Structures are given as C-alpha cells and as structure tokens.
Amino acid sequence: MTLLPSCHDVQTHLTEYLEGALPFHRRLGIGVHLLLCRVCSGVLRGLQALPWVAKASLKAPETAPEEARRALADVQALLRKGSR
C-alpha cells in the first residue's frame, strides 16, 4: 500500500471527501494528492462548481414572469382603451 492514493482512488472518493465523510487518514491522503495533482484538483473544482451551476439553471426561468407582467400590462392597456 502506498502512502498517497491513486488518481482513480481520489476521484472515486471526491464526493465523500467534500462531504467530510472519510476518516482522517483518507482525507489527509486525498488532500495531499489534490495539492500535487492538477487533474484531480481540476475534477474537485468541477464538483465544487456544480451547486452553483444548478442554482444558475434554476434562476434562468425568472425572465418569464417579467415577460408575463409586460404582456398583462399590454392587455390591461388594451382593455382600458376598449372600455372608453
């Protein structure tokens, strides 16, 4: 058994590493590996960005209510014209 985990081992356990679900010696090995390995630290950054991407994708439909509000204002303006 080597002191540092392999790239495959690190990437397999990255989610647990982020959640703090691994025992101390495993976290230490993965942490040192992440400091030394650009590939695995890149994968880690990708995982950390995921919640932000998910939030951003949920935010996108917020443009729709603005369009609906404008459409409603147009309809109300037409109705006001029509009632005179």
CB 22 within 8 A of CB 13: yes
What tokens appear for 17 in the block? 């590493």
- Options 2-10, 17-25, 48-56, 58-66: segment touching Zn ion (CB under 5 A): 2-10
Among the listed residues 5, 29, 30, 40, the single contact to Zn ion using CB under 5 A: 40
Q: Could you give the CA distance from residue 54 to residue 52 in angstroms, rounded to a whole number?
A: 5
Please state the closest distance from residue 52 (CB atom) to Zn ion, in A. Answer: 23
Phi and psi of 6, rounded to 5°?
Answer: -75, 165
Residue from the set 5, 17, 30, 37 that interacts with Zn ion by CB under 5 A: 37
Binding site for Zn ion (CB under 5 A): 7, 37, 39-40
